[in-house]
C-alpha cells in the first residue's frame, strides 16, 4: 500500500514538472522576437495612406518590438508599418548605431505629422523596400513634429539633422510616398529597369522580402 502511494506521488510530481516545463517553453516562445519580411517596391501597401492608430494594446506593443527587431536585423535605421504590410500610422526609428557617439534614442512614432519645416538639405537616401538604389534627395533640414506616445498623449518636438531626415522619410511611407518620387526625371529614367527588377524580386538582400505577386 505504502509503495503504491509513493508511486502515485512520484507520478503526480512528474506530471507537475512536465506542465511547468510546458508553460515555461510557451512563455519563452511567446517572447521570442519575429523577423517580418519587408514589403518591396511594387507592393500596393507602400502606396496607401495609412490609418491612425486609435488603441494601444499588447498586440501593438508586441508589433513595435518586432518592428525594432526586423529593422535591426536588416541593418535599417527606420521602418514604417507599410514596410511590414500594415496600413497603420506607425513607424520606428533608431539611428544610434549609424553614427559614432550618436546619442539619439530610438523613437516610436504613432500617428506622426509634420507641422512645419525649414531649410533645404541634400543627402543620399536608401530604403529597405527599394534595395540597392541610393540617390540624393533634397528635404527640409528642420522639422516641427507632432506624434503620439504610448499613452496616446500628443508630443510636439523640433528636430534637426539626421534624425529629422530619417523621420521625414518614414512619415512619407505613412502617406504612400517613397524617396524615389523626389528624384528628377532623368534619374527616374535611369533607375526604371532596376525598379522593374526589384518589383519582381530579382534582388539580393540579407533580409526576407515580401514581393507583390500581381503585375
Ligand atoms: Zn524607406
Q: Which of 170, 185, 186, 190 is catalytic?
A: 170
Return the residue matching grid coordinates 549609424: 98
The answer as to whether 70 is a domain residue is yes
Question: What pLDDT score was predicted for residue 27?
Answer: 62
CA distance 204 to 206: 7
Return residues with CB closer than 5 A to ligand 1 (ion). 127
Cα 76 to ligand 1 centroid, rounded to whole Å = 9
Annotation says 170 is catalytic: yes
CATH number at residue 89: 3.90.45.10
Burial class (CB in 10 A: 0-12, 13-18, 19+), 193: exposed
The set of cell numbers assigned to 11 is: 507520478
Give the pLDDT means over successive 10-residue stretches in the chain (215 positions).
Answer: 75 74 60 91 98 96 97 97 98 88 88 98 98 97 96 95 97 98 97 96 96 80
Query: What is the pairing mode between strands 142-148 and 130-139?
Result: unpaired
Residue 123: give the domain boundaries: 34-210
Q: Where are the alpha helices (DSSP H) in the chain?
A: 2-31, 58-73, 161-174, 185-199
65 and 102 share one domain: yes
Question: What pLDDT score was predicted for residue 165?
Answer: 97
23 and 128 share one domain: no
Cα 25 to ligand 1 centroid, rounded to whole Å = 36
Q: How many domains does the chain have?
A: 2
The answer as to whether 11 is a domain residue is yes
The answer as to whether 215 is a domain residue is no
Question: What pLDDT score was predicted for residue 21?
Answer: 67
Question: What pLDDT score was predicted for residue 78?
Answer: 98
Question: What pLDDT score was predicted for residue 161?
Answer: 94
Edge-first strand order for the sheet with 107-118 is 78-80, 90-93, 107-118, 142-148, 154-159
Amino acid at each position: 500500500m505504502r509503495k503504491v502511494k509513493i508511486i502515485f506521488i512520484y507520478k503526480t510530481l512528474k506530471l507537475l514538472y512536465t506542465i511547468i516545463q510546458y508553460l515555461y517553453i510557451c512563455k519563452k516562445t511567446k517572447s521570442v522576437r519575429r523577423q517580418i519580411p519587408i514589403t518591396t517596391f511594387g507592393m500596393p501597401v507602400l502606396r496607401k495612406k495609412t490609418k491612425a492608430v486609435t488603441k494601444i494594446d499588447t498586440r501593438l506593443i508586441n508589433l513595435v518590438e518586432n518592428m525594432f527587431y526586423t529593422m535591426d536585423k536588416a541593418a535599417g535605421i527606420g521602418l514604417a508599418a507599410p514596410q511590414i504590410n500594415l496600413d497603420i500610422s506607425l513607424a520606428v526609428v533608431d539611428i544610434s548605431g549609424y553614427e559614432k557617439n550618436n546619442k539619439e534614442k530610438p523613437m516610436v512614432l504613432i500617428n506622426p505629422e509634420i507641422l512645419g519645416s525649414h531649410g533645404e538639405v541634400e543627402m543620399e537616401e536608401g530604403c529597405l523596400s527599394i534595395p540597392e538604389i541610393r540617390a540624393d534627395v533634397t528635404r527640409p533640414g528642420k522639422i516641427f513634429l507632432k506624434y503620439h506616445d504610448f499613452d496616446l498623449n500628443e508630443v510636439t518636438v523640433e528636430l534637426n539633422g539626421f534624425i529629422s531626415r530619417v523621420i521625414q522619410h518614414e512619415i512619407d511611407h505613412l502617406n504612400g510616398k517613397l524617396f524615389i518620387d523626389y528624384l528628377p526625371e532623368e534619374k527616374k529614367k535611369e533607375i526604371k529597369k532596376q525598379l522593374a527588377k526589384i518589383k519582381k524580386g530579382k534582388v539580393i538582400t540579407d533580409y526576407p522580402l515580401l514581393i507583390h505577386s500581381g503585375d
